[in-house]
Amino acid sequence: MPRRFGISRPTVALGMLVVGSTVGRLVLSRGIDAPWIAPDEHLYGLVGRSLVSGDGFTIVGGEVPYYSFLYPLLVGLALLGDEVASGVTVAQAAQALAMSATAIPIFLWTRPLAGARLALLAATLTVLLPGLAYSALLMSEALYYPVAVVAVWALAACLRDPTLGRQIVLLGAIGLALATRLQAVGLVATLVLALCMLGLAERSTAPFRRLLPTFAALAVAGVAWFVGRLLIGGDGETLGAYATLSEAEQYSLADIASSIAWQAGAVALLTVGIPLVALGVLSWETLRGSEQDSRTRAFVATALSYLVVTVVEVGVFASRFVDHITERQLLSVAPPVFVAFAVWLGRGLPRPQPATSLVAIAVAASALLLPIERITTRAAAADALSSIPLEQLRGVVSESTFAAVYAGTAAAVLLLGVLLPRRVAPLLAAIVAFALAACSVVASRELSERSQAERQSIFAGAPVDWLDESGARDVSYLATPDRLWPSVWHHLFWNTSITSVTRLSGAESPGVVPQQLVSIRRDGALVDGADEPLEVAELATPTTLVPAGEGVATIPPSEEQPGMTLWRVEQPLRILQRVSGIRPNGDLHGGDAALIEVFACGPGELQLTLLGKQGLPTRILVNGDTFAERAIAPGEVWRPALPSPPRADGTGRCVYVLETDGLVGSTRIEFVRAG
C-alpha cells in the first residue's frame, strides 16, 4: 500500500476517524448541560475534587463508599481550575477523545482478521454508537468503554499466544478496568468461559494449563482485595458502595431470567442486530471445530464469552435495581461484535443452515419480546440511549402502528442479514452505520433538551454558582420536601461554599451525601435528633421557609420547584415561618390546601395578598376554625390580615390553612410580628 512519510493510508484514515469523532462528539456536547443524571455525575465530580485535593473519598468532609478510583480521578483533574464550568468542558473533551480512541484497539484487533478496510469499518461503527453521547456527561462509561475493550482485546491475544508478557498485560488491563468500575469483575468469569469455549473448539485442555500463572495472580489479588476491604471497614465493605449486591435473598430467579432476556434484547438494539448474527455464525463454526484460524478461534471465544457474561451480570444487577434495560452498562459489548461483523463480511457472508436462521430468529426474538412500554419511557432514556428514537416514534403514532413498524423493521433488517446476496454485502454495513449515526444524533439532541430542562427546573435561569457568587463561604444546605432531592446534588456540585447538608424530617434523602437530619421545634429552633440546636452562620433554604436573619441572595422559582434564598442567620438559629402546599408560581388549586406555620408565634398578624382567578370561595382557617371566607372575583385582589390567636405567647406554633374551591393566586404570605 502506498505510504507517505512512512504512514499507511489506513493509519491516516484511523487518525482522522478518531479526531473527527472527538470533534463531533464535543460539538454535540456543547448543548448538553452536564451534570444531568443526579446523583451519579455529581458524585463522581465531588469525589474527584476531594481526591485531587488529598481528602480521599469524601463529600463535604464526610466519607462516602468506594465506587471507583480512576474515573473520579479523571474528573477531579479536569475540575482543578477555579471555574467549574470550564472544568466540565475539559472533562467533556477528554471523554470524547477517550471514547473515540476506542476505535484504535478495535482497528488493531480486526486488521489481522479481516484486513485494513474492514478494520476501518469496525472502528467506525465503534464510534457511531449512540452511547458515545455519554462523553458529554460525567459518567464512568466514558472511561470504562475504552478500558474494557482493551482488556477484552488483551484476553483474546492471550488466548491465542499466552506468553508471560501477554499474561502480565492482561492482568494489568483487568486491574485498570476494576479501578474504573467494579463491573469489570465479570472479566474474570469471561476468562474462564472463554477458556472453556476455546478448549471445546480445539478439543483440548491445553488453554487452561497455559494460563495457570494468570489464575494464580488473580487468586492472590482477590484474596488481597478481600482482606484489605475487611481491614478497612468490615464484612459489609468488601464491595464498597456495591455491598448490597451480595444480599442474595433480595433476588428473584424469575426476575433475573426476565431481566437477562431484556438485556439480550438491548444488545440487539444496540448493535442493530445484524452484527450479532455474524457473531452467532462465527461462533457456530468455531464451537463445532470447523474454524481453522487460531486467531479467529481466540477472538470468537473471547467475544462470545464477554457478551454472555456481561448480559448475565447486568441482567442480575438490573433485576433488582432497574425496571428497564440498562444499555449503558452493555456498551463495551458492542465493539467486539462489530469485529465479528467485519470478519463475517470479509469471508463473504457465510450463512450455514440451519445455524444462520436459528441465530437470526434468536436475535429477532430478543428484540421483539422486549417490554416496549417499559423501555420507551422518559425514565429509561438516561440508561438506554438507543431507546430514545423508539420513545419519540411511540409518542407520535398509535400503539398498533408503532408495534407494526417496530416488528416489521426488526424482521426486515434481520432478513436482509440472512438473505441479501453477497454481491451487495456493503449494503449491510451501510444499514448498520446509518442506523447508529441517526440514533446518535437523535440521542444527543434529546440529552440536550432534557438536561437544559433539568437545569431550568433547578436554577430557573439563575447562575448555577449563585451561592459562591454571593460571597458565601460556609453554607449549610437545608433540604426540605418542597424541592426535589436532585437539587441538593446540583447545588453541591456547582457551589464549593456548601460545607454541610441538613435534611428536614419528611424530606426525601438525597442518597449517600453526608447529611444531618433535623426538625423544627415549636419555638422555631432547628434541632438534631438529640434536640440540640443547629449551629450554622449561613443557611440556604427554599423560599417556602423563612429563618430569622438577613436574606443575602435568592433564585426565582421554576415551574416545578420554589425558589431558594441564602440567609445570614441570627444566632441561635430559629425558623420563623414555613409555607407548604402552594404551587411554585403562587397558585393554589381547588382540592388542595396550603399550610402556613408560624413558629414562636406571638402577637402579630398574617398578611396575605390573594388574586382571584375563578371567583369560587376561598377560606382561611386559624387553628382549625374558619376565620374568613370570600369568593374572590377574577381580577380582584383580596388582602386579608389575620391576627394571631389570643393565646399566642411567643413559645408555641400557630397554624393557618388556606383553602379554595377553584383557583386562586398569591403574591404575599407573611406573618408580621407586633412591635
φ/ψ of residue 554, rounded to 5: -150, 155
The whole-angstrom separation of Cα 380 and Cα 263 is: 13
Give the model's pLDDT for residue 233: 57
From the list 419, 454, 323, the residue with the least C-alpha distance to 379 is 323
Three-class DSSP category at 637: strand
What would the DSSP string read from start to end of 592-611?
A: -EEEEEEEEE-SEEEEEEEE
φ/ψ of residue 96, rounded to 5: -60, -40
- The single-letter code of the amino acid at 623 is N
Whether 53 and 462 have beta carbons less than 8 Å apart is answered as no
Q: Give Cα 141 distance to the centre of its chain.
A: 9
Nine cell digits for residue 607: 398578611
Pairing type for strands 475-479 and 498-504 reads parallel
Spell out the alpha helix ranges (H) of 324-459.
Answer: 334-346, 355-368, 372-375, 378-381, 388-396, 399-419, 426-459
Fold of 588-673: Jelly Rolls (2.60.120)
What would the DSSP string read from start to end of 476-502?
A: EEEE-TTS-THHHHHHHHH-TTEEEEE
Pairing type for strands 526-527 and 549-555 reads unpaired
Whether 622 and 641 have beta carbons less than 8 Å apart is answered as no
Q: What DSSP character marks residue 422?
A: G
Give the model's pLDDT for residue 376: 82
Q: How far is CA 306 from CA 154, 184, 187, 303, 489, in A?
A: 12, 11, 7, 5, 35
Q: Give Cα 647 distance to the centre of its chain.
A: 53
The whole-angstrom separation of Cα 383 and Cα 666 is: 40
- The single-letter code of the amino acid at 174 is I
Give the model's pLDDT for residue 239: 52
User: pTM for the full model?
Assistant: 0.90
Whether 518 and 493 have beta carbons less than 8 Å apart is answered as no
Give the model's pLDDT for residue 307: 97
Whether 538 and 569 have beta carbons less than 8 Å apart is answered as yes
Nine cell digits for residue 59: 463529600
* Percent helix, strand and coil across the chain, each to the nearest 5: 55, 15, 25
Omega of the bond prior to 572 within 30 degrees of 0, cis? yes
Q: Which residues does the chain have with pLDDT short of 70?
A: 1-6, 229-251
Contacting residues for 304 by C-beta, under 8 A, at least 6 apart = 194, 197, 279, 283
Give the model's pLDDT for residue 3: 53
The whole-angstrom separation of Cα 225 and Cα 170 is: 18
Longest pairwise C-alpha distance within the chain: 97
What are the extents of the domains in the chain?
A: 1-101, 140-245, 247-456, 466-576, 588-673
Whether 52 and 71 have beta carbons less than 8 Å apart is answered as no
Run of H or E residues at 542:
strand 538-542
